[in-house]
A and B are shown apart, each in its own frame.
Chain A
Amino acid sequence: MPDYLPHTEEDIDEMLAFLGLASLDELFDVVPSALRIAGGLGLGTGIPEPDVLARARSRAERNGARADRLVCFAGAGAYDHEVPPVVQALAGRSEFVTAYTPYQPEVAQGGLQAVFEFQTMVSRLFGLPIANASLYDGASAVVEAVNLGVGATGRSGVLVSAGVHPHWRAVLATFAAGTGHRLVEVPLEDGQTRWDSVADEADIGAVVVGYPNYLGCLEDLAAVRSLCDGREALMAVVADPVAAAVLRSPGDWGADVAVGEGQAFGTALSFGGPYLGLFACSQAHVRRLPGRLVGETLDADGRLAYVTTLRAREQDIRREKATSNVCTNQTLMAVTAAVQLGWLGTSGLAEVATRCARATRYCREALTGLPGVGPLTGTTATFREFALRLPVPASTAVERLAEDGFLAGIALDQLVGEGGDGSADAEAARRGLLVAVTERRTATEIDLFVAALDKAVR
Chain B
Amino acid sequence: MTDRSAPGGRAASAPLVGRDSEPTIFELSRRGRASWQLPTTGIPDTPLEDLVPDNHRRDAAVDVAEVSERDLVGHFTRLSHRQYSVDLGAYPLGSCTMKYNPKVCDAVAALPGLDSVHPGAPAALTQGWLATLVELEEALCEVSGMAAATLQPAAGAAGELTGLLLMRAFDAARGEQRRRVIIPDSAHGTNPASVTLGGYEVTTVKSDGRGCVDMDSLRDALDDDVAGMMLTNPNTLGLFEEDIVEIAAAVHGAGGLMYYDGANLNAILGVVRPGDMGFDIVHLNLHKTFATPHGGGGPGAGPVAVGPHLAEFLPGPRPVRLGDADGPSFGWATPARSIGRVHGWHGNALVLARALAYIEVHGGDGLLRVAERAVLNANWIRTRLHGTFDVPFDRPCMHEVVFSAAALHKRTGASAHDVAKGLIEEGFHPPTVAFPLIVDDALMVEPTETESYETLVALADALERVAARAEGGRLSESPRTTPVRRVDEARAARTLIPTFDARR
Interface residues of B in 16-40 (CB under 8 A from A): 21-22, 24-26, 29, 33-40
Which A residues are CB-close (under 8 A) to B297? 99-102, 111, 133, 292, 328-329, 331
Query: When the two chains form their complex, are residues A43 and B113 in contact, meaning their CB atoms are under 8 A apart?
Result: no
Contact A177 B295 (CB under 8 A): no
The answer to whether residues A124 and B64 also contact, given A116-B499, A271-B346, A331-B297 and a CB cut-off of 8 A, is yes
| Interchain CB contact (< 8 A) of A293 among B37, B487, B498 | B498
Q: Which of B343-383 contact A (CB under 8 A)?
A: 343-351, 353, 356-357, 359-370, 372-373, 375-376, 379-380, 383
| Contact yes or no, A271 B114, CB < 8 A | yes
**B4 interface residue (CB < 8 Å to A):** no
Within 8 A of A (CB), among B106-150: 106-108, 111-122, 124-129, 131-132, 139, 142-143
- Cβ of A258 within 8 Å of any chain B Cβ, yes or no, is no
B453 engages A15 (CB within 8 Å): yes
Residue A194 lies at the interface, judged by CB distance under 8 Å to chain B: no
- Residues 329 to 347 of chain B near chain A (Cβ within 8 Å): 334, 339-347
Q: Given A273-B349, A361-B51, are A178 and B83 also a contact pair (CB < 8 Å)?
A: no
**Cβ of B125 to closest chain A Cβ, rounded Å:** 4
| A contact residues, total (Cβ < 8 Å) | 211
Q: Is the CB of A32 within 8 A of B242?
A: yes
Choose the segment among A195-203, A229-237, A245-253 that binds chain B (4+ C-beta atoms closer than 8 Å). Answer: A245-253
Are B299 and A330 closer than 8 Å at their CB atoms?
yes
- Please tell me if the beta carbons of B342 and A171 are within 8 angstroms of each other in the complex: yes
Judge if B270 is at the interface, Cβ distance under 8 Å: yes
Tell me if A427 is interfacial: C-beta within 8 Å of chain B: no
Chain B, residue nearest A336 (CB): B295
Per-residue CB proximity of B243-265 to A under 8 Å, as 1/0? 01100000000000000000000
Query: CA separation between A342 and B492, bound complex, in Å?
Result: 25
Task: Decide yes or no whether B232 CB sits under 8 A from chain A.
Answer: no
Task: Given A120-B501, A296-B497, answer yes or no on A245-B61 (Cβ-Cβ < 8 Å).
Answer: yes
In the complex, the chain B residue whose C-beta lies closest to that of A57 is B111
Chain A stretch 313-352: residues in CB contact (< 8 A) with chain B: 314-322, 324-333, 335, 338-339, 341-352
Contact (A311, B42) CB under 8 Å given A6-B450, A78-B119, A93-B77: no
Q: Which of B42, B45, B271, B487 contacts A36 (CB 8 A)?
A: B271
Of B197, B277, B420, B495, the residue contacting A104 (CB under 8 A) is B420
Assess whether A452 is interfacial by the CB under 8 Å rule. Answer: no
A56 vs chain B, min Cβ distance (A): 4
Whether A247 and B56, one on each chain, are in contact in the complex, defined by CB atoms closer than 8 angstroms, is yes
Residues of chain A with a CB closer than 8 A to B375's CB: 27-28
Interface residues of B in 274-319 (CB under 8 A from A): 276-277, 287, 293-301, 315-317
Among B35, B132, B287, B295: residue with most chain A CB under 10 A: B295
Does A52 lie within 8 Å of B360, measured CB to CB? yes
Residue A425 lies at the interface, judged by CB distance under 8 Å to chain B: no
Tell yes or no: B424 within 8 A of A by CB.
yes
- B421 CB to nearest chain A CB (Å): 7
Interface presence of A256 (CB below 8 A): no
Cβ-based interface call for B324 (8 A): no
**B122/A41 in contact, CB under 8 A:** no
Given A7-B453, A345-B35, CB of A322 within 8 Å of CB of B87: no
Given contacts A101-B294, A327-B155, contact A24 B372 (CB under 8 A): yes
CA–CA, A43 to B464, complex, Å? 41
Q: How far is the CA of A19 from the CA of B132 in the complex (A)?
A: 41
Contact A108 B83 (CB under 8 A): yes
Check if B341 sits within 8 Å of A170, measured CB to CB.
yes
Cβ of A129 under 8 Å from chain B: yes
Residue of B75, B120, B244, B493 ringed by the most chain A CB atoms within 10 A:
B120
B82 to chain A, nearest CB (A): 4
For B384, the closest partner residue in chain A by CB is A18
Contact A248 B57 (CB under 8 A): yes
Q: Mark B469-503, 1 if CB is under 8 A from A, else 0.
A: 00000000101001111111101110111111111
Instruction: Decide: A343 and B69 in contact? CB cutoff 8 A.
Output: yes
Tell me if A331 and B296 are in contact (CB < 8 A): yes
Whether A82 is near chain B, meaning CB under 8 Å from some CB there, is: yes
Q: Given A272-B119, A320-B192, check contact A99 B65 (CB 8 Å).
A: no
Q: In the complex, which residues of chain B have a beta carbon less than 8 angstroms from the beta carbon of A319? A: 189, 192-193, 202
A410 nearest CB neighbor, chain B only: B120
Report the Cα distance A391→B126, complex, angstroms: 26
Q: Which residues of A contact B36 (CB under 8 A)?
A: 84, 343-345, 347-348, 351-352
Q: How far is the CB of A124 from chain B (nearest CB, A)?
A: 5
B178 close to A (CB within 8 Å): no
A103-B93, A129-B501 given; A178·B198 CB < 8 A:
yes
B49-75 interface with A by 8 A CB criterion:
51-53, 55-58, 61-67, 69, 72-73, 75
Decide yes or no whether A422 CB sits under 8 A from chain B.
Answer: no
Task: Determine if B492 and A309 form an interchain contact, defined as CB atoms under 8 angstroms apart.
Answer: yes
Q: Which residues of A contact B66 (CB under 8 A)?
A: 345-347
**Are A327 and B38 also in contact (CB < 8 A) when A139-B343, A247-B58 are?**
no
Interface mask (B427-454 → A, CB under 8 Å = 1, otherwise 0): 0011010010000000000000111110
Across the interface, which residues of B come within 8 angstroms of A55, CB to CB? Answer: 360
Q: In the complex, what residues of A have CB within 8 A of residue B373's CB?
A: 5, 7
Which residues from A are CB-within-8-Å of B96? 100-101
- Asked if A77 lies at the interface with its beta carbon under 8 angstroms from chain B, I say yes
Chain A neighbourhood of B268, CB < 8 A: 31
Task: Assess the B77–A90 pair: CB atoms within 8 A.
Answer: yes
B170 within 8 A of A: no
> Quick one: which of A103, A174, A180, A275 contacts B341, CB cutoff 8 A?
A174
Verify if A395 is at the interface (C-beta below 8 Å from B). Answer: yes
A36 touching B83 in the complex, CB below 8 Å, given contacts A343-B36, A439-B41: no
Q: List 19 A-B contacts (CB under 8 A).
A: A11-B453, A15-B376, A24-B372, A30-B398, A59-B131, A95-B87, A99-B297, A101-B294, A107-B479, A108-B84, A110-B78, A136-B298, A299-B484, A322-B189, A332-B295, A349-B62, A357-B51, A358-B51, A359-B41
Query: Which 4 A-B pairs rank lowest in CB-CB distance, beginning with the nearest?
Result: A272-B345, A60-B113, A332-B295, A272-B119
Supply 6 further A-B pairs (C-beta < 8 A) apart from A177-B165, A268-B115: A102-B297, A247-B58, A328-B155, A331-B297, A351-B36, A418-B334
